[in-house]
Amino acid sequence: MKGQPITSRNPWVFIPTLYFAEGLPYIIVNTVSVILYKKMGIDNASIAFWTSWLYLPW
């Protein structure tokens, strides 16, 4: 086992992946809610107002 180099992973490599995974639920919830509100016939100003409230938990 003398010839094998020791490799270690930098823990900072996973940070961008975690931020991406954190944003996925927000994108899904907002997209689905906009589609739902549009199919209900709600105007764009009201859709923007109500979907902006969905950002608060994030």
Tell me the mean pLDDT per 10 residues along the chain, length 58. Answer: 72 86 92 97 96 84
Q: How far apart are CA 19 and CA 39, in angstroms?
A: 31
Cα–Cα nearest to 35, from 2, 27, 16: 27
Give the global pTM: 0.67
The pLDDT, as a whole number, for residue 36 is 97
Instruction: Please provide the DSSP assignment of 12-58 as one string.
Output: GGGHHHHHHHHHHHHHHHHHHHHHHHHHTT--HHHHHHHHHHTTTT-
The pLDDT, as a whole number, for residue 6 is 72
